[in-house]
Amino acid sequence: MNMNELNEPTASGSTRKIGPVILDLNNISLSFGGVKALTDISFNVRQHEIRAIIGPNGAGKSSMLNVINGVYRPQQGEIVLRGEHRKNMDCYSAAKAGIARTFQNIALFKGMTVLDNIMTGRNLKMKSNFLMQALYWGPARREEMAHREKAEEIIDFLEIQAIRKTPVGRLPYGLQKRVELGRALAAEPDILLLDEPMAGMNVEEKQDMCRFILDVNDQFGTTIVLIEHDMGVVMDISDRVVVLDYGKKIGDGTPDEVRSNQNVINAYLGVAH
Ligand SMILES: Nc1ncnc2c1ncn2[C@@H]1O[C@H](COP(=O)(O)OP(=O)(O)OP(=O)(O)O)[C@@H](O)[C@H]1O
Ligand SMILES: [Mg+2]
């Protein structure tokens, strides 16, 4: 099937259009001393798709996201973002290029409120400098208000109005994960990298998170790269799935293709998740 022409009606009635490839990973290899975290991995991500990365513990999934947003620099391979070839990314360029991310272990300021944590996601969008902000000088003040408005929009979208002034450290785990999604959304990313957004959640929290991910993809047109261990979720919401095992790619395709791939069944799906 030509994915450029793939139109899928969604629950909200809109039509999802999967676009051309915007991110291409070519022959990526990454090692830490003697440990080969990734070996010759190639796959691509199309605009507006939900692309899952799955595989057993230690397969290299988080390392892959870290390569995409410039936390790790691969020894080999290249990253092609919107047609621009690079040997590696750095975090600042990735953020500037519209890539945002959440982490496997929640990375929020626990003592700060939900609203303030979400505001930190807007740092890159702020034009006025520190001195202007400190003096609360006219333009800086207007800018601050616009950023607050955006943060409040995200809070409404994620249905967390009731906890907007609560310090994040006091929230249950599931809500902290939602706030972290909010912080990433505050950057208004084109590509959102989510590292196990549903890990440790109960069924209801997972359902909520699934709905938010689908809504972000649908309403904002955000491309999503998602690591997840819950196969029900992965098979339900992904357009395509890449499977890693011991740092190597062992499968790549639609959920149905991956589900019936014997290598994938042997390495991962054969066991309960
Ligand atoms: N900073 C690091 N220094 C040394 N080794 C690392 C580092 N990051 C990852 N690794 C190693 O690389 C391999 C892949 O790890 P990675 O965290 O990418 O796996 P994963 O698929 O995300 O696993 P999990 O499902 O447990 O999160 C592992 O052997 C891990 O120990
Ligand atoms: Mg991981």
For residue 58, the domain's CATH number is 3.40.50.300
CB distance 217 to ligand 1 below 6 Å: no
Q: Give yes or no for residue 11 having a pLDDT over 90.
A: no
Sign of CA dihedral 18, 21, 22, 23: positive
Whether residue 5 lies inside any domain: the answer is no
Residue with CA at minimum distance from ligand 1 atom 2: 32
Q: Which token pair is 1?
A: 């099937």
Residue with CA at minimum distance from ligand 1 atom 6: 32
- The model's confidence at residue 2, banded by pLDDT at 50, 70 and 90, is very low
What are the residue ranges of helices labelled H in the chain?
61-68, 91-96, 114-120, 130-135, 138-157, 173-185, 203-219, 231-237, 255-259, 262-264
Whether residue 139 lies inside any domain: the answer is yes
pTM, two decimals, is 0.90
Tell me the pLDDT tens digit for each residue of 22-61. Answer: 999 999 999 999 999 999 999 999 999 999 999 999 999 9
Question: Does residue 131 sit in the same domain as residue 231?
Answer: no
CB distance 135 to ligand 1 below 6 Å: no
Nearest ligand for residue 103 CA:
2
Give the nearest ligand 1 atom to 104 CA: 27
Residue with CA at minimum distance from ligand 1 atom 27: 57
Sign of CA dihedral 206, 207, 212, 218: positive
Question: Does residue 131 sit in the same domain as residue 240?
Answer: no
CB distance 60 to ligand 1 below 6 Å: yes
Tell me the pLDDT tens digit for each residue of 89-137. Answer: 999 999 999 999 998 888 889 999 999 999 998 877 766 555 556 666 6
Whether residue 105 lies inside any domain: the answer is no
Whether residue 80 lies inside any domain: the answer is yes
Domain-terminating residue out of 147, 168, 187: 187
Mean pLDDT of all residues belonging to the chain: 89
Rounded Cα distance, 14 and 7, in Å: 10
Question: Does residue 172 sit in the same domain as residue 245?
Answer: no
Rounded Cα distance, 93 and 85, in Å: 13
Count the residues in the chain. 273
Q: How far apart are the first and last CA of the chain?
A: 30
Domain-terminating residue out of 187, 206, 240: 187
pLDDT, average across residues 125-153: 73
CB distance 35 to ligand 1 below 6 Å: yes
DSSP character at residue 113: B
Rounded Cα distance, 62 and 53, in Å: 9
Question: Does residue 270 sit in the same domain as residue 162?
Answer: no
Whether residue 9 lies inside any domain: the answer is no
Q: Which residues contact 189 (CB under 8 A, 6 or more apart)?
A: 98, 99, 100, 222
Question: Does residue 19 sit in the same domain as residue 93?
Answer: yes
Question: Does residue 31 sit in the same domain as residue 67?
Answer: yes
Say what the pLDDT of residue 269 is.
Answer: 85
Whether residue 271 lies inside any domain: the answer is yes
Distance 61 CA to ligand 2 centre (A): 5
Question: Does residue 216 sit in the same domain as residue 257?
Answer: yes
Question: Does residue 159 sit in the same domain as residue 199?
Answer: no
Question: Does residue 201 sit in the same domain as residue 269?
Answer: yes
Q: Which of 192, 186, 180 is nearest to 23 (CA)?
A: 192
Q: Give yes or no for residue 10 having a pLDDT over 60.
A: no
Give the nearest ligand 1 atom to 64 CA: 18
Q: What angle do CA 256, 65, 70 make, to 5 degrees?
A: 150
Whether residue 266 lies inside any domain: the answer is yes
Question: Does residue 39 sit in the same domain as residue 141?
Answer: no
Domain-terminating residue out of 165, 187, 209: 187
Tell me the pLDDT tens digit for each residue of 219-261. Answer: 999 999 999 999 999 999 999 999 999 999 999 999 999 999 9
Look up the domain containing 91 and give its range: 15-98+189-273
Distance 222 CA to ligand 2 centre (A): 22
- The model's confidence at residue 1, banded by pLDDT at 50, 70 and 90, is very low
- Helix 173-185 vs helix 138-157: angle between axes, to the nearest 10 degrees? 130
Work out the percent of the chain whose per-residue pLDDT is above 70: 88
Q: Which of 82, 64, 83, 84 is nearest to 74 (CA)?
A: 64
Q: How many domains does the chain divide into?
A: 2
Whether residue 3 lies inside any domain: the answer is no
Characterise 132 by phi-psi region: left (phi > 0), alpha (psi -120 to 50), beta (else). Answer: alpha
Query: 99-102 and 191-195 as β-strands: parallel, antiparallel, unpaired?
Result: parallel
Question: Does residue 84 sit in the same domain as residue 125?
Answer: no
Question: Does residue 175 sit in the same domain as residue 224?
Answer: no
